[in-house]
Every structure is written in C-alpha cells, then in structure tokens.
Amino acid sequence: MSFATEIDQRILRDPAAGRQQAAELARMGRDEQQLRHAQRTLTDRREGLRSEDARHVPIDHLDTGAGPVGLIARGEVLVAGEESATERTILASAGFGLVSGLDGLRRYLKPGAPVDDVVAVIGRLTEAESIAAPNYVIVAGHTVKAAAPGEIRAGIVLKSVLTPGEITAGIVMKTAMCAGGPRPTTSEPPARRTDDDRGTGVRVAVLDTTIDPSDVFALHGLLSDVTVDSPPAVDGPDLDTAAGHGAFVAALVRQVAPAAAVQVLPVLAGDGLGTEYALCEALHRLAAAPTPPHLVNLSLSAATAGDAVPVGLPRALDALLARHPETVVVAAAGNNGSDVAPWPAAHRDVVAVAAVDADGEPAAYSNRGEWVDFSAPADGVVSAYPAGSGFAAWTGTSFAAPQVVGALAGKIGDGQTGPEALAALRAESSPRPNVGHVL
C-alpha cells in the first residue's frame, strides 16, 4: 500500500460537500468586494468588546493602499526588541499605555483609538528606530463572507429559518457568514481505535479555537483525553462561525495518528478570530515548557495589511524553535488562491501546507508557490464537529495541515526525530510544482 493510499484510507471525505465548498472558497478568493464586505461585517459584530482578553477585542481595517486590507486590534500597538525610554515617551504622549509584555514583545493600548492614531504613533516609533506594528488579527484558515438573514451558505443557515428536521440534521450558527464552512454530512469516520498505536508518545499542540469537553469528547473517541488549556465556555448549541474549528482539526490529527497526545491551546474566539499577541503568548508558553510538543499545528493566518510582516509572530516562532529545535511547526498555506505566503506559513522554518484537488494540482482556493512544503487533498474532509450528528464536512488548507501533522506523528512515534520524520515524509510523497510534496 502506498503512503498516499494509507493516509487517504484514514481520512473520510464528503465529495458533494467538498465540491460546493471548494467552489465557494474559489469565488470568494476572486471577489475583493465581497471579502471587504465580510471584513466589515466581522468588524461590526465585535463592536462594544473590551480588550482585556487578547482574543476577544474590537477590530478595525487597515488599508495601506498596497495589497490586501488588514484587520487589526483596535487601538493596539506591538513593539518588539529591547524596551527604550524613547519608546515609552512616544507612546505615553500619544495616550497609549502598556497592557502586557512577553520576552522581547510589548502590547500597548489606547482604548477606542481610531486607525489614524495607531498609524501615526507607529510612524513616530519607526522614525525613532523602534520595531512597531499593529496587533494584527489572526484568522482561522477559512474565508468568510456576509450573507443575508435566512440565506443558506454552504449548508449553514440562521437558526431563525431552520425547520425542525434541519435543526436535527444540520449545523446551527449564529450567523450565516462562512463561505466553504462546515456542512452537515451523513458520513462518519470510524471510532478511534484504541489498539492503533500510531503516534504513541507524540505530543501535538493545536493552537486554534477551544474545545468544550462536555460537547464533543465522548462522541466517538477521536477527542478522548485531549487536553485544553483554560477552556472558555462554548455557548450552547448555537455556534459562532468557526466555533468547531479546533475540534475539527484536533480530530483530524487523531484520525491519522490515533495514539497521539493532543493539547489544544485556545488562541481564537468562536468567530475564528484572535490576535497576533494571543498567538505569541501561546507560542511563548510552548517555548517555556520543560516538555515541549513534538509537533505544532497552526491552521490559521495573520490578516496583515499589504502582506506586511508582523513584528511579534516571527520572533515568537524563533524563540520556540531555538529552544526546542526538534519541534516541527506546521501551518496552513491559506485559502486566497494567491502565490503570497501568509504568516505563519511564511516563516522560513515553518512547514507550509497547501491543498490539492483530485489530480494533485493546486486546489482553486489554495495559496500556492515554491514556498509550499507539503499538500494534501482537503475538499469535503469529514471530522468531529460539536453540533448536529457530531461530524461535519469542511474544506480548506486548515484541514490539509493536520493530515501532515498526523503523518509526522506516526513517524515520530516510530522513533524518528522531527527533522528525520520530515525527511522521510518527503521521500514517501510526490513533489509537484507549487504545492510541495503531495500526500
């Protein structure tokens, strides 16, 4: 049996859902106006939030006039490197106060400050040779779009228009804002096999949305014994746009490597949004851990303005990999149909994973380029979801990345180091232009 066939047999897919979701994602990637409208809708939904939780913050748009519009935490500035008196003076004079700090990274806030104030103070800091940028929003690796109340988008319907039968079979969301989003499915992966030792002794960290143990852990065994760092509540059966993203990803790792020890670190809220600072906090916790993960899954990307390089994320990844050089970080390549690498997939030492179609060509929605390391089929992937039947079909590079993580976990469980597992996986998979090695 070939390696690709073995992986394919472990991952269940819903072809009909995959075709619809892939088409929606591809259309979204080509429609800049719809994308901007979706961003505006997300901004509006977060009005009134306060900034105590680095994930749950109000957000604004940053348009530099060159490249994509960015999403930023309102009134927040990140400064990297050594702290200086000049930095403190500039920020204090502009009304920004220090909220929190990590090793070599500080988060400043001026509550409610408009984008112009953020841009102006970053300009002053840059002139003073400080390394400063907005606190960019981190997005779960799916593309969002706005929909009118009651409108169906990829099988997700507002609860107010569902019939009782649809409530039983479907996934009920607070909003209908998810192009290519999770779709009800009658397909169901087999229960986790306790006699399958693939991934034994391998620690996998999934940085994503949280998992509610009362909802999903007991459904099918795929999430049994998954640990969650400080799990916030998931508010009942009416889920936010991406509330099941972390459960879906973690269960995919377990489908390929059933014995892996999976830890979920919540860095995204239920709408699939977090911040660069929240992600950096989690990476620093992993770097400081006496027993680090063998593998880190990042099915997310930074919504930077003009494809800018964020200031905190590269340094947080550097810190993790410098302290634990055998840890392998895997990130989704993104769903914009672009050849530009998003962060964190753009990091030189991060394994970037794209999606391919049935012919091994880049999926129409997937980012692609020579910077991609691996790819896997990711249309209509079926995994755990905390609503409906307990499973859903979902499409995107978010769900290619955990297939690679699971494959690496199997090899590390057999005694290989992370770098050795990467080399072996490359040797067993097929290289293709712009999509790396195809599982």
Q: In the structure encoding, which two tokens stand for residue 433, read together?
A: 């232009």
Do 51 and 75 touch, CB atoms closer than 8 A? yes
Q: Examine the residue annotation and report whether 84 is marked as an active-site residue of this protein.
A: no
Q: Examine the residue annotation and report whether 373 is marked as an active-site residue of this protein.
A: no
Could you count the other beta carbons within 10 Å of the beta carbon of residue 369?
A: 17
CA max distance for the chain: 66
Compute the distance between CA of residue 312 and CA of residue 335 in angstroms, rounded to an integer. 23
The helix or strand, by DSSP H or E, that contains position 126, with its residue range, turns out to be: helix 115-127
Q: What are phi and psi of 421, to 5 degrees?
A: -65, -40
Q: What are phi and psi of 386, to 5 degrees?
A: -80, 50
Compute the distance between CA of residue 412 and CA of residue 202 in angstroms, rounded to an integer. 7
Q: What crossing angle do the helices spanning 401-413 and 418-428 adopt, rounded to 10°?
A: 110
Q: Examine the residue annotation and report whether 220 is marked as an active-site residue of this protein.
A: no
Spatial CA neighbour of 304 closest among 436, 418, 134, 167: 134
Compute the distance between CA of residue 292 and CA of residue 286 in angstroms, rounded to an integer. 6
Contacts of 219 (CB under 8 A, 6+ apart): 384, 390
Do 276 and 35 touch, CB atoms closer than 8 A? no
Compute the distance between CA of residue 386 and CA of residue 213 in angstroms, rounded to an integer. 10
Q: In the structure encoding, which two tokens stand for residue 416, read together?
A: 């290989």
Dihedral angle computed from the Cα positions of residues 411, 292, 272 and 63, in that order, rounded to the nearest 10 degrees: -110
Do 119 and 77 touch, CB atoms closer than 8 A? no
Compute the distance between CA of residue 264 and CA of residue 250 in angstroms, rounded to an integer. 8
Length of the chain: 439
Spatial CA neighbour of 366 closest among 432, 424, 291: 432
Q: How far is CA 364 from CA 181, 368, 396, in A?
A: 16, 10, 10
Selected catalytic residue, list 56, 142, 220, 245? 245
The helix or strand, by DSSP H or E, that contains position 430, with its residue range, turns out to be: strand 430-432
Selected catalytic residue, list 51, 60, 142, 208? 208
Selected catalytic residue, list 324, 398, 429, 437? 398
Could you count the other beta carbons within 10 Å of the beta carbon of residue 152?
A: 13
Burial of 286 per CB tally in 10 Å (0-12, 13-18, 19+) = buried
Q: Active-site positions?
A: 208, 245, 398
